[in-house]
């Protein structure tokens, strides 16, 4: 069986690396929200540890594109995830 595709071939791209990032809480300037998308394993964002309510981290992509994979790495697991687009818990 042979499969073919018309038009440009699909590819993988890091959509987050050029995204605007905003967090509702940050521990200190050395751990700001922009570090979420800097591509370095040694840097990271930290919210304040004693927040009374939910903390949000928002990425605004430059363009619409299908997302095939989301990678999250946590030191402390969050209570829950919520997608603003989907409006529900993950």
C-alpha closest to that of 19 among 81, 54, 70: 70
57 pLDDT exceeds 50? yes
pLDDT in tens, 29-39: 999 999 999 98
> Which single residue is written with the structure tokens 């997302």?
67
- Give the number of other CB atoms < 10 A from CB of residue 38: 15
Give the pLDDT score at 90. Answer: 44
Dmax (CA) of the chain: 58
The answer, as to whether pTM is greater than 0.85, is: no
Q: Answer whether 17's CB lies under 8 Å from 39's CB.
A: yes
Give the pLDDT score at 87. Answer: 47
Lowest mean pLDDT among 6-10, 39-43, 45-49: 6-10
């Amino acid at each position: 069986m042979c499969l073919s595709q018309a038009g440009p071939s699909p590819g993988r791209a890091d959509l987050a690396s050029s995204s605007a990032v905003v967090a509702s809480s940050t521990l200190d300037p050395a751990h700001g929200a922009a570090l979420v998308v800097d591509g370095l394993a040694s840097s990271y964002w930290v919210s304040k540890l004693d927040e009374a309510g939910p903390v949000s981290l928002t990425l605004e992509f430059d363009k619409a594109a299908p997302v095939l994979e989301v990678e999250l790495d946590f030191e402390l697991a969050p209570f829950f995830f919520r997608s603003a687009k989907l409006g529900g818990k993950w």
